[in-house]
Every structure is written in C-alpha cells, then in structure tokens.
Amino acid sequence: MSKFWNEKINSITPYVAGEQPKPGQKVIKLNTNENPYAPSPKVKDAILSFDISTLRLYPDTNGTSIVEAIAKVEGVKPSQVFVGNGSDEVLALCFQTFFEKQNNTDLPVLTPEFSYSFYPVFEDFYDLRPKKIALRENFKIDPQDYANEPNCGIAIANPNAPTSVAMSLDEISVICKANPDSVVLIDEAYVEFEEDLQSAVKLLPEFPNLCVVRTCSKSYSLAGLRVGYAIASEELIDGLNRAKDSFNSYPTDRLAQAIAAAAILDEEYHKECCQKIIDTRKETTKALEEMGFDVPDSSANFIFAKPPKELTAEGLYQKLRSGGILVRYFKTSGINDRLRITIGTPEEMKEFIAAVKKEVEDAKNS
C-alpha cells in the first residue's frame, strides 16, 4: 500500500509468474512451460546478419516482417495479423479493446473456472466483471455452458492452462455461433503440441467475432524474446492497432522482428521440436500413470498430474524443489491436489521420473 499509488494499484492482485532460479543455480526447470530446445538455427543466422547500426532508428511500428511471416505460414492476409510484446501484452490489449460494460449493464467476461491466471488480473485492471464457468468431468469445457450466458466477451485458453485439456474446432464453433455480438478470444499458446489439434484460425472466415492469440514463447523457443500475436478479422485487428497506438506504438524492437520472422518461417524445425516434446510427454505420462498418478489427456507441452494417495501435491512439490527440480503448484481450491509439470528433454524427464519414483516408494514404505 502506498499513498502515492492510485486506488486501482493499491487494490489489485498482480499476476504471479512461476519461480525463476537464481543466476548460477542448477535446477531442472519444469515450472514455466518453456521449450527445452534451442530456437531454430535460422535465429542465429538472423542475429549474426543483423545490422546493429539500425538500432539507432525506431522499429517498424507494425512488425511487418513478423506479420508477413505469420500470414504466409497461417494462410491469412497480413491485415489480419497483429504483433505485440509477448502474448500477455496482446491479451491485455484484447481485454481492453473488446470487452466492456454494454448499454449500462454490467455484463461479465466469461472464462473457465480454472484457466490462465492472468485473465482475472486483466478483468480487475480494466474494471470488468468476471464470471467463471465450471469445468466438466476431467477438466473438459462444455461449449453449451457458454451458449446461453449473457456476456461482454469470452476468453478461453485452448489447450487450457493449467489443465492441458483441449477443445475441438466444432466445440469452438458452437461458442462463436452462440455469441455473435461478443468477441470470443481463443488463447492458443500451446496449440502446436498436439498432432490432431487444429488451430481456430481455420474458423476465421466463418466468424468475424473470433480472435486467436498465439505466442513465440513456447513452440518457437523464444520466451526470452517476448513476441506474441493475434490473428482475426481485419475489423478486430484494426481495433487492436488503435489501442496499441494509444499506448505504445513500438511494441517489438528491430532485432526481435528479425529473429521472430526467421523462427516462424523455419516450419520444418518447428514441427520437429514440437514432435519431440509430444513424444516425451507421452512417455512421461505413461511412467507417472504406472506409479498411480492421474493424468488427463494433455494437448500441451505440460501435464497436470494428481499424485497417488500416498502423496500430496504440495508435499511432492516441496520435495522436488528441495532436490533441484521445479514444477508448478497452485494453492487454488479445486486444483490444489495436482502439479503442472512442463515437458523437458528426455534426459530431464528421466531425472524427474526417478525423483518422483523415489518419493512414491518412500511414502509407501513409511
């Protein structure tokens, strides 16, 4: 609390990011859903060929090189792409641009009961009324729960976080069709980590109220770069540009634009990295299930595992942490019996499984 802060900053509860190890601290970091593999080799080429003398100039305000790379890969027009400083900034601008009280009524923003924990922060910051929609069995989202619920907007992570469970395009279509006067925001930070999961970008020709948000942090191994983007109708993208130009006209720097474009265009390397993570996720899930863990079917680069009855999630989290393995534990009621575990390299996951197996055996023998 401070007398110099305004009322909003005094009252808001900020987003809490996953624990970051201290410099020099050796850990297996499985708590922030980062990619364990290096970025595309073409990223290094882009850095080495970058003309540093151009840093004296402001960057392209629209991030045209990134926009054109995304448009090419996704099969959309450049005018349907918006680029920002990480998907968190893009999401924040979406909440600011598309969601508001309408006709003097306090209509809520609909989000899943358990989802990305930045959503309630945005709702609070922009004075929006939240309404959380309960998940069904096995953390599934039922689209019908969003079909007859008055709202000023809808935000859903797909695959959802931290649950890892995904909706199909047919299910997203139901939500978009039932809410023609609201923007349906589909946050696809993890969509590339499932072979059969299609991006909601395919639905854009049918639904002008759909906005798909993506990131370069996860599948492109560029979490340290901070580049995110939205793909939507030209009308929605124009709105985001108006908001951006009223806040920060230069969200991505010159070097970031060169790097991100190079990574996005290297489609073969991108697919190879994602497939390695998918394969390791399946092996890790099998090993945990053999030890008695409950693990929902994951479509992300992480799993959401419930330990066997001999262990508590919080207890296992603390044991792993003391042994130099970081995973994510949420104290939120309803999911505080599970751990969110990022998929690392096969070697990292073998060490993780060995550590977990020891804790399970120790608990059974105690």
Q: Of 100-104, 279-283, 332-336, which gets the smallest average pLDDT?
A: 100-104
User: Would you say 96 and 126 are in contact if contact means Cβ atoms under 8 Å apart?
Assistant: yes
337 or 104, greater pLDDT:
337
Sign (positive or negative) of CA dihedral 102, 108, 112, 117: positive
26 or 222, greater pLDDT:
222
Give bridge partners of residue 244 from the DSSP assignment.
Answer: none
User: Would you say 213 and 229 are in contact if contact means Cβ atoms under 8 Å apart?
Assistant: yes
Residue 152 has pLDDT above 70, yes or no: yes
Residue 344 has pLDDT above 80, yes or no: yes
Helices marked H in 229-266: 234-244, 254-265
The pLDDT-based confidence of 366 (bands split at 50, 70, 90) is confident
Helices marked H in 193-244: 234-244
The pLDDT-based confidence of 104 (bands split at 50, 70, 90) is low
Asked whether the bond before 41 is cis by omega within 30 degrees of 0, the reply is no
Residue 365 has pLDDT above 90, yes or no: no
Q: How is residue 17 annotated by DSSP?
A: P
Residue 101 has pLDDT above 80, yes or no: no
In the chain the first and final C-alpha atoms are separated, in Å, by 46
Secondary structure element (H or E) that encloses residue 47, with its range: helix 41-48
User: Would you say 19 and 326 are in contact if contact means Cβ atoms under 8 Å apart?
Assistant: yes
Provide, rounded to the nearest whole percent, the portion of the chain with pLDDT above 70: 99
pLDDT number for residue 106: 85
pLDDT number for residue 103: 59
Residue 36: CB atoms within 10 Å? 21
Residue 317 has pLDDT above 70, yes or no: yes
Tell me the C-alpha distance between 153 and 265, whole Å. Answer: 32
- Can you tell me the mean pLDDT for 34-39? 98
User: Would you say 303 and 285 are in contact if contact means Cβ atoms under 8 Å apart?
Assistant: yes
The pLDDT-based confidence of 102 (bands split at 50, 70, 90) is low
pLDDT number for residue 291: 97
- Can you tell me the mean pLDDT for 41-53? 98
Residue 10 has pLDDT above 70, yes or no: yes
Q: Of 23-37, 66-80, 93-107, 254-268, which gets the smallest average pLDDT?
A: 93-107
- Can you tell me the mean pLDDT for 164-186? 98
- Can you tell me the mean pLDDT for 287-292? 98
- Can you tell me the mean pLDDT for 220-230? 98
As a whole number, the mean pLDDT across the chain is: 96
The length of the chain is: 366
